[in-house]
Amino acid sequence: MKWELIKDILLTTVPLMVIFPTMFALTTWVERKALARIQNRIGPNKVGLFGLGQPAADGIKMLFKENIVPTGADRLFHLLAPILALIPAMLVLCFLPLNFPWLTGEQDSVKAFMLDSAVIFFFAITGLNTLAVFMAGWASRNKYSLLGGMRAIAQMVSYEIPLLLSAVIVVMVVGSLNAADIAKAQEGWNWFIFKPCGLAAFVIFFIAALAETNRSPFDLPEAESEIIAGYFTEYSGFKFALFFLGEYIAMFAISGLAVTLFLGAGAGPGVEALPWLKVIWFLSKVCMLIGIMIWLRGTLPRLRVDQLMSFAWKFLLPLSILNIFVAGFAWHANKANEGTAVSVIVWVAALVILYVAAKGLDRINRARVKTRTYQFGE
């Protein structure tokens, strides 16, 4: 009995512990290569073929680097912060609707933990990352680190609200908080991103996810050019590697939630005949979203702090609240007139309302720049 329990635990956890850290290593290589391409550089090319051995070399280097702790630092919390930053991201992966039927030959033999309130649990557990970031900044006894931690608190709290409100639309339409039920409701091509309110919610969700994971252009908590890597300035060696790993695993986790909510989870061509393709489609969609994050990092400049906060509270929050009301009205109207021309008109009207609201909020909140007058030019 004990061996059967151990085997079930290993079959459930090993795929997540192998697949996502492996994807993390490959993602770091892809990101460095892509950014080098955008910036007209070569990128990693010394270790292994095309630099593919660079992630392994970085990991070995971090493992053997000296662990330096400042004299005045709180050693206990300085140690716990990187661990607390990694654990929530790894826990969230267990609730994504991923099935691994090829491990024992049985359909759905190894699958995610189907919690009835999985969406709520996701947002609850990811909130611990904010505590870890602040703990790292406070325990380091460094003004730059503390400033980075305070920036992270303000940023994550602000963007968690539109992130959650954009997910409410999907939960409201499906009527369930279970990730499996949400995925089942999008079977075929009935993805929520193909609906106007779902598309608007996905855009809001993705922007807020960039800020939640401290990705460019919202990477203010660790702005290298301003506050010297922010909250983990005083971290070195494997502790720094844990922060690095936690950030990328959080990218996979929040991208997986976006795929579950808006992109049909594992839905795709050929899944009816070959059910194991659901895993391939799911991971492919996750990699697509991460590719967009990498592209944005090499393209957009970093926002100022006031721009960051203003964008969250004055633009994303009102638009996400309006989107909930519009989605509720459109869903009820479409349900009453399903299959008729009225349903098409309702969806078009919903899209127009959201577009006009976005333009209006942008015009109200954007700072008015005075036209420069040349007094002495001729």
State the pLDDT confidence band at 107, using cuts at 50, 70 and 90. Answer: very low
One-letter identity of residue 220: L
- All residues at 6 or more sequence positions from 122 whose CB lies less than 8 Å from its CB, including other chains: 92, 95, 253, 257
Q: Is residue 122 pLDDT above 60, yes or no? A: yes
Q: In whole angstroms, what is the distance from residue 121 CA to residue 95 CA?
A: 9
| Closest-CA residue to 253 (of 29, 96, 85, 28) | 96
Q: Is residue 103 pLDDT above 60, yes or no? A: no
pLDDT per residue as tens digits for the range 160-216: 889 989 988 888 888 888 888 888 888 878 888 888 888 888 999 999 999 888 887
Q: Is 246 exposed, middle or buried (0-12, 13-18, 19+ CB in 10 A)?
A: buried
Query: Do residues 253 and 183 touch, judged by C-beta distance below 8 A?
Result: no
pLDDT per residue as tens digits for the range 66-75: 888 888 888 8
Q: In whole angstroms, what is the distance from residue 166 CA to residue 275 CA?
A: 30
Q: Is residue 374 pLDDT above 70, yes or no? A: no
SS (H, E, C) 129-186: HHHHHHHHHHHCCCHHHHHHHHHHHHHHHHHHHHHHHHHHHHHHHHCCCCHHHHHHCC
Q: How far is CA 3 from the centre of its chain?
A: 36
Give the residue carrying structure tokens 């963007």. Answer: 159
| Closest-CA residue to 235 (of 73, 12, 370) | 73
Q: How far is CA 194 from the centre of its chain?
A: 20
pLDDT per residue as tens digits for the range 326-337: 888 777 776 666
Percent of the chain predicted with pLDDT > 90: 4
Tokens matching residue 149: 């931690």
Angle at CA of residue 240, ends 24 and 33, nearest 5°: 40
Least confident piece of the model among 82-86, 152-156, 221-225, 242-246: 221-225
- Determine the pLDDT at residue 8: 66
Q: Is residue 353 pLDDT above 70, yes or no? A: yes
How far, in Å, are 111, 197, 329, 339, 348 from residue 342 at the CA level? 41, 16, 13, 8, 10
Query: Do residues 249 and 89 touch, judged by C-beta distance below 8 A?
Result: yes
pLDDT, mean over the chain: 80
Task: State the number of CA atoms in the 13 A half-sphere of 275 facing the CB.
Answer: 11
Query: Do residues 23 and 287 touch, judged by C-beta distance below 8 A?
Result: yes
- Determine the pLDDT at residue 292: 92
Q: Is residue 116 pLDDT above 70, yes or no? A: yes
pLDDT per residue as tens digits for the range 140-160: 888 778 877 887 888 888 888
- Determine the pLDDT at residue 108: 47
Q: Is residue 343 pLDDT above 80, yes or no? A: no
